[in-house]
Amino acid sequence: MTSIKLKLKEKDVQQLKEVARSFNNEPGELINVLHKAQDIFGYLPAEVQEVVAQELNVSVAKVYGVVTFYSYFTMLPRGRYPISICTGTACYVRGAEKVLDEFKRMLKVPVGETTPDGKFSITCLRCVGACGLAPVVMVGDKTYGRVTTDGVKDILKEYEDAE
Amino acid sequence: MELIKLKIDNRTVEVEKGTTIYHAAKKLGIEIPTLCYMNLGDLKIEHKPGGCRVCVVEVEGRRNLAPACATECNEDMVVHTHSIRVLNARKTVLELILSDHPFDCLICAKSGTCDLQDMAIKMGVRNIPYQGEKSTYKPDFSPAIIREMDKCIMCRRCETMCNDFQTVGVLSGVNRGFESVVAPAFERDLDHSECTYCGQCVAVCPTGALTEVDHTTQLIRDLADPDKKVVVQTAPAVRAALGEAFGLEPGTLVTGKMVAALRRLGFDYVFDTDFAADLTIMEEGTELLDRLGRFLKGDKDVKLPMLTSCCPGWVNFFEYHFPDMRDIPSTARSPQQMFGSIAKTYFADIVKTKRDEMVVVSVMPCVAKKYECTREEFSVDGNPDVDYSISTRELAMLIKRSNMDFGSLPDEDFDKPLGESTGAGVIFGTTGGVIEAAVRTAYELHTGKDLEKIDFEQLRGIEGIRSASVDFDGTEIKIGIAHGLGNARKLLDDIKAGKSEYHAIEIMACPGGCIGGGGQPLHHGNPDIIKARQKAIYQEDSGKPIRKSHENPYIVKLYDDFLGKPMSEKAHHLLHTHYFDRKQKDVLLD
Ligand code: SF4
Ligand code: SF4
Ligand code: SF4
Ligand code: FES
Ligand code: FES
């Protein structure tokens, strides 16, 4: 074991505290505050969870419990273009797994991780409510429907030149 | 209060609105089996997640079976608690739980006292039809508690104790589905959490998922070593509970038999932590009088209220959660540590034994003491004052293993000099006892008068927070008492806010004090057992010829021959300690 402590940016921490205050530091708002925290930091490392716990006066264990319960939350840093593949029932039946495998193959990273250049990360989601378009892939806020394995490289291409 | 009538197993019962089916059935003498449910009555701890569904019953007119522990009664409800459908459902529930449970019963520390095992026996489970993948978690060995989460059935009782009752907040359900487990934040091990080692999670865990660290193997090795002098001390609360492990009524005092058993196990000297409790009173009581005296003379810097410091669970709690207030507890060490310190100096000299040839073992109702004796400040050149501590449960197991018929052992007396104690030492075992013992001595030392009445009824009871005042010959001393760390937190918040009026506060981490300690025979959710132990403690006190610590002749002799006087330099060195700020520990990542 090593004792590395992540240094959070003071300005981000202040913003997070503000968010907590806007929810009246209510313990019942834990999930909402975590959502905003993930928006600010991109992910929820232990240090961020500790700040949330302190601001809402709940135990860190409880915060961690919630973070690990919802697949939406992530403790690993995400890429600038986070790719989420829906693996809900409809998408799964329509070949989501093959699509996922293709992303993993092309980007050479497993689920939950980020490419070394920090550009892409891969996560899985449960039903995103667009079953008619299954299988569904999201890159950031943008949704792609009826994705095929061949379509994967086209999606990645869109972001090739972007920074 | 609205009453409703319903029928359970064809018998009519009338209950208050809001009563659960479980309690209504109990009123009729029908015991519905439960696993996750827990209700500690007067201690005001209730846990009903309705999760395990072992308690299901059939309610006429409902399609699904209902969990009795979490379903309220309705007017004219008709309930069947043991129809074929119910029995089958319960068995299926249990088979499902067992399908993800290791079959370690033969070598499990909980075997014989495990609720899950009992339930499997009761339901007649003979095979597990569902064989699936089993969860595997890395076991977590801390200095006091072992977590083997493979054995966890997610009843989440431990969470209720840790979060709601103790407000320590170390444990939480994490992950979901098959991977869900109860764990500290970031699934660190307990040793890297803010765990106080109070052991209350261990005391309520129905399975072998949470157990205390076992020292009996080491103990047997030491007892067998002819080059070692093995000295034992027994805490006050042990004698009021040990008998339960041998089928005696809760509240049976077994002091004499316990001593006889320890002697037969091969200890060279059988001593009493109560002696050290008397010593604690000399030091703590003197410290209180010193602080009070200065306060009354107008010294504004004096730290009041003074908090007791004999409970290591509580000490851990304030070091983590209130480190900025660590200068207000008494600096007196716990009786366990005072004993070790005196045994390896004063007593070792008397019997001409070298420090490293002496092994000091303690028998404690406590899990935190296992951790406490590993603290570095309580050792000399790497040799600990107390080598290790075993729980009441471990002692019971050792006695059973040695084939002694506990019930027919004679009553024997502790050895001298560290086995002589007063009634004041005995009541350390219950909430309110430490402060009563302190008051008995402080009063007489302060006023120079004999107490007319030794019993301070106003300090006794089982309420979580109590307050009382005692007249010190014209000076009113205000006293607060809390047991359970959640209750302690309330009093501490008041002090922090400058709202506390107390001069002295006694705090114990466990419900009822040490009688309800994490190392005691399991109460299996019956709070009456804790009250029975409390009664036994006061009974032992009132039967003692000497009931005030400063009148213990061996304590007087110890000061005359060795320590000088309370709070002397030597006493400071051997009997006092200092506390740490443990809030800012570095976050450890794997
Ligand atoms: S020993 Fe006490 S503080 Fe530690 S996890 Fe158990 S209940 Fe919580
Ligand atoms: S560790 Fe024990 S008390 Fe805690 S949830 Fe698991 S089985 Fe229940
Ligand atoms: S109350 Fe007693 S048993 Fe409980 S932690 Fe404190 S000293 Fe140990
Ligand atoms: S299952 Fe993928 S959108 Fe519903
Ligand atoms: S005991 Fe009722 S659901 Fe577990």
d(CA B307, CA B332): 10
Residue A112 in this model has a pLDDT that exceeds 90: no
Alpha carbon distance, N-terminus to C-terminus of chain B: 56
For position B585, what pLDDT does the model report?
55
B534 φ, ψ (degrees, to nearest 5) = -60, -45
**What does the pLDDT average to over B504-527?**
94
Helix (H, G, I), strand (E, B) or coil at B505: strand
Q: Which two tokens stand for residue B585?
A: 């520990």
Q: For residue range B197-237, what is the model confidence (pLDDT) as tens digits?
A: 999 999 999 999 999 999 999 999 999 999 999 999 999 99
Residue B138 in this model has a pLDDT that exceeds 80: yes
Percent of chain B at pLDDT above 90? 86
**CB distance A93 to ligand 4 below 6 Å:** no
d(CA B167, CA B161): 8
Residue B587 in this model has a pLDDT that exceeds 70: no
CATH code for residues B3-123: 3.10.20.740
CB-based contacts of B410: which residues, under 8 Å, 6+ apart?
Answer: B256, B257, B260
CB-based contacts of A163: which residues, under 8 Å, 6+ apart?
Answer: A80
Contact A1 B172 (CB under 8 A): no
B131 φ, ψ (degrees, to nearest 5) = -105, 110
Q: For residue range B465-503, what is the model confidence (pLDDT) as tens digits?
A: 999 999 988 889 999 999 999 999 999 999 999 999 999
Strands B46-47 and B38-39: antiparallel
User: Is the ipTM beyond the 0.85 threshold?
Assistant: no
Question: Which of residues B178 and A23 earns the better pLDDT score?
Answer: A23
Residue A126 in this model has a pLDDT that exceeds 50: yes
For position B114, what pLDDT does the model report?
95
Say how many CA atoms lie within 13 Å of B479 toward its Cβ. 28
**What does the pLDDT average to over B158-164?**
95
For position B44, what pLDDT does the model report?
82
Q: Where are the alpha helices (DSSP H) in B137-272?
A: 157-159, 200-204, 216-224, 255-265
Mean pLDDT of chain B: 94
Q: For residue range B76-85, what is the model confidence (pLDDT) as tens digits?
A: 999 999 999 9
Say how many CA atoms lie within 13 Å of A86 toward its Cβ. 23
**What does the pLDDT average to over B60-76?**
95
| Residue in B171, B176, B589 closest to A61 by CB | B171
**What does the pLDDT average to over B278-295?**
93
B154 touches chain A (CB under 8 A): no
For position A2, what pLDDT does the model report?
40
For position B129, what pLDDT does the model report?
81
d(CA B425, CA B236): 7
CB-based contacts of B128: which residues, under 8 Å, 6+ apart?
Answer: B95, B98, B99
Atom of ligand 3 nearest to the CA of B199: 5
What is the number of the ligand closest to the CA of B52? 5
Contact A1 B170 (CB under 8 A): no
Q: Which one, of B140, B208, B196, lies nearest residue B163 by Cα?
A: B196
Q: Which residues of B are catalytic?
A: 284, 287, 310, 330, 369, 372, 377, 514
**What does the pLDDT average to over A13-41?**
94
The sheet carrying B145-147 orders its strands as B140-141, B145-147, B210-212
Taking the model in full, what pTM does it have?
A: 0.88
Q: How confident is the model at residue A163 (pLDDT cuts 50, 70, 90)?
A: low
d(CA B466, CA B462): 9
Residue B586 in this model has a pLDDT that exceeds 60: no
Residue B590 in this model has a pLDDT that exceeds 50: no
Question: What is the helix, strand, coil percentage profile of chain B, to 5?
Answer: 40, 15, 45
Domain residue spans in chain A?
10-69, 81-161
Q: How confident is the model at residue A140 (pLDDT cuts 50, 70, 90)?
A: confident
Q: Are B365 and B391 within 8 A, CB to CB?
A: yes
Contact A1 B588 (CB under 8 A): yes
Domain residue spans in chain B?
3-123, 280-334+420-583
| Residue in B169, B176, B586 closest to A3 by CB | B586
Q: Are B127 and B97 within 8 A, CB to CB?
A: no
Say how many CA atoms lie within 13 Å of B144 toward its Cβ. 30
Q: Are B576 and B283 within 8 A, CB to CB?
A: yes
Q: For residue range A113-122, what is the model confidence (pLDDT) as tens digits?
A: 888 888 899 9
B579 φ, ψ (degrees, to nearest 5) = -115, 160
d(CA B170, CA B158): 10
For position B152, what pLDDT does the model report?
94
Q: How confident is the model at residue A9 (pLDDT cuts 50, 70, 90)?
A: confident
d(CA B360, CA B232): 6
Percent of chain A at pLDDT above 70? 96
B170 touches chain A (CB under 8 A): yes
> Quick one: CA dihedral B120, B121, B122, B126, positive or negative?
positive
Q: How confident is the model at residue B584 (pLDDT cuts 50, 70, 90)?
A: low
Contact A3 B588 (CB under 8 A): yes
> Quick one: CA dihedral B249, B253, B257, B258, positive or negative?
positive
For position A1, what pLDDT does the model report?
36
Strands B269-272 and B379-380: unpaired
Q: For residue range B167-179, what is the model confidence (pLDDT) as tens digits?
A: 999 999 998 877 7
| Residue in A50, A58, A65 closest to B173 by CB | A65
| b/e map B451-485, b = 16+ CB within 10 Å | eeebebeebbebbbebbbebebeeeebbbbbbbbb
Q: For residue range B334-377, what is the model confidence (pLDDT) as tens digits?
A: 999 999 999 999 999 999 999 999 999 999 999 999 999 999 99
Q: For residue range B528-567, what is the model confidence (pLDDT) as tens digits?
A: 999 999 999 999 999 999 999 999 999 999 999 999 999 9
**What does the pLDDT average to over B323-332?**
94
Q: How far is the CA of B170 from the CAs of A50, B157, B193, B196, B507, in angstroms?
A: 13, 13, 7, 9, 20
Q: Are B41 and B61 within 8 A, CB to CB?
A: no
d(CA B246, CA B261): 13
Domains B3-123 and B280-334+420-583 share a fold: no
Residue A62 in this model has a pLDDT that exceeds 90: yes
Q: Are B11 and B29 within 8 A, CB to CB?
A: no
Q: What is the DSSP letter of B237?
A: G
**CB distance B34 to ligand 5 below 6 Å:** yes
Specify the residue for token string 């006892």: B433
Q: For residue range B234-269, what is the model confidence (pLDDT) as tens digits?
A: 999 999 999 999 999 999 999 999 999 999 999 999
Q: Which one, of B29, B27, B91, lies nearest residue B56 by Cα?
A: B91
Percent of chain A at pLDDT above 90? 61
Contact B174 A61 (CB under 8 A): yes
Q: Which two tokens stand for residue B351?
A: 């019997």
For position B473, what pLDDT does the model report?
85
Superfamily of domain B280-334+420-583 in the CATH hierarchy: Fe-only Hydrogenase (Larger Subunit); Chain L, domain 3 (3.40.950.10)
Say how many CA atoms lie within 13 Å of B82 toward its Cβ. 9
Which class is domain A81-161?
alpha beta
d(CA B362, CA B429): 15
Q: Which one, of B135, B146, B149, lies nearest residue B183 by Cα?
A: B149
**What does the pLDDT average to over B102-130?**
90
Q: For residue range A68-91, what is the model confidence (pLDDT) as tens digits?
A: 988 788 888 888 898 999 988 889
- Please report residues of A whose CB lies closer than 8 A to that of B154: none
What is the number of the ligand closest to the CA of B152? 2
d(CA B398, CA B230): 16
Q: Which two tokens stand for residue B368?
A: 């935190």
CA B39 to chain centre: 17
Q: For residue range B451-470, what is the model confidence (pLDDT) as tens digits?
A: 989 999 999 999 999 999 99
Q: Which one, of B74, B72, B79, B77, lies nearest residue B58 by Cα?
A: B79
Q: Are B576 and B282 within 8 A, CB to CB?
A: no
- To 5 degrees, how large is the angle CA B88–CA B94–CA B96? 105
Instruction: Give me ligand 5 centre to Cα B509, in Å.
Output: 27
Percent of chain B at pLDDT above 70? 99
B588 touches chain A (CB under 8 A): yes
For position B589, what pLDDT does the model report?
39
